[in-house]
Amino acid sequence: MRQDHLISAAQLSRDDVEAVLDRAADIDADPGAWRQRRAGSVLGLCFFEPSTRTRMSFDTAMKRLGGRTVDMGPVDSTSVKKGESLADTVRVVEGYADAIVLRHPLEGAAKMAAEFVDVPVINAGDGAGQHPTQTLLDLYTIRENAGLDDLTIGVMGDLKYGRTVHSLAEMLTNFESRQHFVSPESLRLPRSVRYDLHASGAQVREHTELAEILPELDVLYVTRIQRERFPDENEYRKVAGQYQIGPDDLADAKDSLTVMHPLPRVDEIAPEVDETPHAKYFEQAHNAVPVRMALLDMLLEGDRDE
């Protein structure tokens, strides 16, 4: 993979994706062999929105490669509160770090930031836009449990504001898959995402009920209804809690069904599902470390052959 930045899932070909996943598998198999791989490198963490898994896994990934991290910290304690622009912030951080991980509430923020710096920028979520590194660890989890070709995948929940969904749908077009999207009418995939999927020749169908397609699914990817993205609290209340699954709801599923969730969950997957063989969402979260280790290692290679 020869990329300066990772902003969108659309940047990555099938070969790019498989290169990252293959390296992640090598790391997973022998993590100790990678402990000094990026000794001396520094990763800048710039999170303008709350994060647990993404922030901590990038921090862990860099440290397990032998590098270090510098963290911007809470926005309220930074110069952003004084009116500093995003462009100025990343230009300052560029002087401290060899790569920057950026999460921001505005769609397109990572793309804009990448125009102002020469170090790699990794999009860790830009509003309701994209979250490509989440998709890489999602695909790693899918590959480990079900393979990546000839799959029927259902995605359920907030498809309008869910950036993990947008990236996953885009990256799945590199593989032989049938994509089913389940949501309330008000939270359907954005028109632009649907257009891109159809233009790529993807097999896509939309539904309002999970039951009609559940027996066909190899993978069920569940997302929460994202309250923080709704411009109107009343609109959120209309759909909150509509799409929930418990063990009984999976009675008609294949024994091999893989249930995933990017987390955090609220009430869309009952805790009882955790005890079933379908539940892979904590494994999915743990896979973030080897996958992000692989990605950081490859981006920091630059043009050097190693």
Task: Return binding residues for L-aspartate.
Answer: 82, 163, 224
Report how far residue 177's alpha carbon sits from residue 249's, in angstroms, rounded to the nearest whole number: 23
- Active site (annotated) includes residue 53: yes
- Active site (annotated) includes residue 55: no
Report how far residue 1's alpha carbon sits from residue 298's, in angstroms, rounded to the nearest whole number: 7
- Active site (annotated) includes residue 238: no
Q: Which candidate in 5, 38, 54, 166 is catalytic? A: 54
Q: Half-sphere exposure (CA, 13 Å, Cβ side) for 93?
A: 32
> Which among 45, 67, 48 has a CA at the least distance from the CA of 56?
45
Report how far residue 103's alpha carbon sits from residue 109's, in angstroms, rounded to the nearest whole number: 8
Report how far residue 111's alpha carbon sits from residue 256's, in angstroms, rounded to the nearest whole number: 38
Determine contact, residues 143/21, Cβ cutoff 8 Å: yes
Q: Which candidate in 2, 82, 191, 304 is catalytic? A: 82
Q: Which candidate in 53, 63, 111, 194 is catalytic? A: 53
Report how far residue 106's alpha carbon sits from residue 211's, in angstroms, rounded to the nearest whole number: 35
CA–CA distances in Å: residue 196 to residues 64, 116, 191, 201, 277: 37, 28, 9, 9, 34
- Active site (annotated) includes residue 276: no
Q: Half-sphere exposure (CA, 13 Å, Cβ side) for 67?
A: 21
Sign of CA dihedral 254, 278, 9, 193: positive
Determine contact, residues 121/97, Cβ cutoff 8 Å: no
- Give binding residues for carbamoyl phosphate as ranges: 53-54, 103, 131, 134, 263-264
- Active site (annotated) includes residue 131: yes
Structure tokens at 233: 């609290």
The secondary element (H helix, E strand) that includes residue 44 is: strand 42-47
Residue 240 amino acid letter: A
Number of residues assigned to the chain: 306
Determine contact, residues 75/104, Cβ cutoff 8 Å: no
Q: Which candidate in 5, 55, 64, 131 is catalytic? A: 131
- Give binding residues as ranges: 53-54, 82, 103, 131, 134, 163, 224, 263-264
Residue 237 amino acid letter: R
Q: Which candidate in 5, 23, 55, 103 is catalytic? A: 103
Q: How far is CA 84 from the centre of its chain?
A: 28
* Active site members: 53-54, 82, 103, 131
